[in-house]
Structure 1
């Protein structure tokens, strides 16, 4: 909870007690403290920003102030009891809601590099957008790039999602109000917008990231920041019509296409989404030539791709058709039929779960079977290195930032039973070891003997 939020709630508790506790005559002037929450409320809204989770606290502090004249004039014991009961319930709600859905923070990355970020809007003039009916519409993408940067401890950090409108369709899909995720603009990451690139004139390997169906480019920010802190540039692609919502610089918002809920349609557009990644790679080459911050910093001879859920399928498809990709990491997803039939040629790591955990989460038997069958079919035919990492106790959402959103995720069964920190560290550590070995050429002891560090992981390599 943020400092002014905590101060407002503390003041509200104090004023509530002053209203319901019988005070001696000489202490009754303390009831004038009932007005204290009001300036704190104003300061909290102006400095930290209002959010819907604080509405009960805002309302209760206003009611306490409004009740002050009646309380100082004196009211009966029955009124005090009613006030104590209703006000007490309101107080519980006012405290519980912001604690249950906090303005969360991101873990501090473990690598030696600070992190900068910039966002780009690119139009592929050569490619029509197959999601729209207008043949003149060209494909547009929004890409956020994170990169190793100069450490600027006092610089403002980038918001998690700068424009909450992008996630309104996701909230609607979950049958929640459009504003549910609007407070994400108050969540701060570890990245500094536009920070100068790290001082040493080093080119860093590049990783492309593709989000899940109805997701957003930032939904694996914790994992992305961990990789960047160890010397990678990560470019996360917003796929319009496959993302929850994409807000373009001119204010337009493109929402999730309802057809993306149909599996046959999804299968038909995966190759098109893979072209988003290839187009992004082409534009990154332009940045390496002329961008004010990133020119000369991108090692485009060493490029990998990873993605979660649908993004993992897109990663597999892209790796099949794009020879510039030297390492492929699909996370918790099936692979497309053409990838299964044709195979992959570069090193591949799969990070997923065992079948029993999938069933425990509620996955259908057909989805469990397809995920494991397609993974195994490609793994068994790889011409080179391959790794299967299965983490029992992790649910699908655990492979994203979702567990950070609320401390109630596990008690409510919204995430897996595996310890939240371990559920974050295991995939991040394996991903880093995989890319270090196959893009940087570094030794990766974890991939040779993983049992010492993560004995719960089901690991296979070839």
Structure 2
């Protein structure tokens, strides 16, 4: 859960949206947003051949209390599903609700754009479209701390267009805005504890429990169980969500493969090692011997198929939708930063290659070494001396 370097002017707000710790300082904000709304931004089109549908599930785990709001009783989760659809026509799903967008931008200190701006982002998935196909591999997505899973929509839509069912989990009270089943939008109660000793380890343990519960429900409810191949499940997470992928795999053997996108390793792999396929995909902060040494530690304990990829000129948010939304928020990118569209392309390409190899047993030469088509991708630890 690392912070980005301090940025000047509007770029500072981009960093605030991207960090995974609630205690980051925010710039002063006006109580009145600007009167002239910017035009909506459209997420990049999915690259697969299938139309994409999406729907939202509200699931309640009555076996445990909410770790951040014990008085609330059972743990309630919002889960967004993206999946191959039978048809491409229909109403496009909202990126997030106006209330979610308002709370997210207010808590991030954004005063340069109307608070409903993000809710007008154009997605590619059709709301509540009829699912198509059966026995699809399942990918669980977990977002960074303070961020809703909607910030991984571009990746989710692309995977669904390639034939995957994707379950994005909003871990309640760990984001600035999560809508519950009764319509209430709750904020980040976990932010009050993020400086406590052991916070990261406890948080990923809780997320692992969330994942196991969601898998229990998705693989047992008739409406969805037939669409999912329960023998082909993987997890992909960004920032603390990437650390949660390790925690979930250690807890639940149903998760057969995982990817950590630029997340500090808080879950501790046993000294005896861990043999299921795993990939690190990060920015230069995660080069061997870099500021964050958790990947150095965990790399030695991964005894099965593994890859450690670093994107040159990437930043912590390059693996999310946030750079794609910078223009509509009136924010300037970091100098020399990987362009938003290229960051999305690289993330989609390498995540899909990993999943195709390990959930579909399809050979992926792209994962065997450097590619002239994607020169930004560096294979570590061997080639990381260039940093």
What TM-score, normalized to structure 2?
A: 0.83
* Partner Cα separation in structure 1 for residue 309 and residue 196 of structure 2: 26
Cα 1:337–1:281 change in 2 (3 A) is closer
* Partner Cα separation in structure 2 for residue 406 and residue 262 of structure 1: 28
* Partner Cα separation in structure 2 for residue 165 and residue 125 of structure 1: 27
1:412 deviation in Å? 2.5
Is the aligned partner of 1:322 residue 2:286?
Answer: no
Is the aligned partner of 1:374 residue 2:294?
Answer: yes
User: 2:88 maps to what in 1?
Assistant: 152
Q: Tell me, what secondary structure is at the counterpart of 1:104?
A: coil
Corresponding residue to 1:185 among 106, 119, 122: 119
For the Cα contact (< 8 Å) 1:357–1:394, is it kept in 2? no
What TM-score, normalized to structure 1?
A: 0.70
For residues 449-460 of structure 1, what are the structure 2 equivalents within 5 Å? 449-460=369-380
Structure possessing the higher radius of gyration over alpha carbons: 1
Q: Aligned pairs, how many?
A: 349
User: 1:387 maps to what in 2?
Assistant: 307
* Partner Cα separation in structure 2 for residue 344 and residue 274 of structure 1: 16
1:159 deviation in Å? 0.9
For the Cα contact (< 8 Å) 2:33–2:113, is it kept in 1? no
Cα 1:356–1:296 change in 2 (3 A) is closer
Q: Tell me, what secondary structure is at the counterpart of 1:123?
A: strand
Corresponding residue to 1:103 among 40, 44, 68: 40
Structure 1's unaligned 5+ residue stretches are: 1-51, 57-96, 359-364
User: 1:92 maps to what in 2?
Assistant: none
Q: Tell me, what secondary structure is at the counterpart of 2:208?
A: helix
Q: Tell me, what secondary structure is at the counterpart of 2:268?
A: helix
User: 2:192 maps to what in 1?
Assistant: 259
* Partner Cα separation in structure 1 for residue 332 and residue 287 of structure 2: 16
1:447 deviation in Å? 0.9
Is the aligned partner of 1:176 residue 2:110?
Answer: yes
Corresponding residue to 1:211 among 133, 136, 143: 143
Corresponding residue to 1:299 among 209, 229, 235: 229
Deviations 1:353-394 (A, max 9, x none): 223999xxxxxx9xx523xx2212222232210001100101
Corresponding residue to 2:262 among 329, 332, 335: 332
1:408 deviation in Å? 7.8
For the Cα contact (< 8 Å) 2:219–2:225, is it kept in 1? no
More helix by share: 1
* Partner Cα separation in structure 2 for residue 180 and residue 327 of structure 1: 40
Cα 1:339–1:164 change in 2 (3 A) is farther
Deviations 1:110-166 (A, max 9, x none): 1111101111001101111121242x611110000000111233x1111111x2222
For residues 299-448 of structure 1, what are the structure 2 equivalents within 5 Å? 299-339=229-269, 341=271, 343-355=273-285, 369-370=291-292, 373-407=293-327, 412-414=332-334, 417-448=337-368
Q: Tell me, what secondary structure is at the counterpart of 1:171?
A: helix
Structure 2's unaligned 5+ residue stretches are: 1-31, 383-387
1:349 deviation in Å? 0.6
User: 1:120 maps to what in 2?
Assistant: 57
For the Cα contact (< 8 Å) 2:52–2:126, is it kept in 1? yes
User: 1:283 maps to what in 2?
Assistant: 217
For the Cα contact (< 8 Å) 1:398–1:416, is it kept in 2? no
For the Cα contact (< 8 Å) 2:246–2:267, is it kept in 1? no
1:406 deviation in Å? 3.0
For residues 7-86 of structure 1, what are the structure 2 equivalents within 5 Å? 55-56=35-36
1:415 deviation in Å? 7.6
Deviations 1:271-294 (A, max 9, x none): 01210111111111123xx21xx3
User: 2:207 maps to what in 1?
Assistant: 273
For the Cα contact (< 8 Å) 2:101–2:118, is it kept in 1? no
Is the aligned partner of 1:246 residue 2:152?
Answer: no
Cα 1:260–1:180 change in 2 (3 A) is farther
Cα 1:337–1:53 change in 2 (3 A) is closer
The alignment's C-alpha RMSD in Å is: 2.7
* Partner Cα separation in structure 1 for residue 74 and residue 375 of structure 2: 49
Corresponding residue to 2:78 among 139, 142, 146: 142
1:434 deviation in Å? 0.4
Q: Tell me, what secondary structure is at the counterpart of 2:220?
A: helix
Where does structure 1 differ by over 6 angstroms across 4 or more consecutive aligned residues?
408-411
User: 1:10 maps to what in 2?
Assistant: none
* Partner Cα separation in structure 1 for residue 335 and residue 238 of structure 2: 16
* Partner Cα separation in structure 1 for residue 153 and residue 279 of structure 2: 20
1:419 deviation in Å? 2.6
Corresponding residue to 1:227 among 143, 154, 159: 159
Q: Tell me, what secondary structure is at the counterpart of 1:311?
A: helix
The one of the two structures with greater contact order (alpha-carbon pairs below 8 A, sep at least 6) is: 2
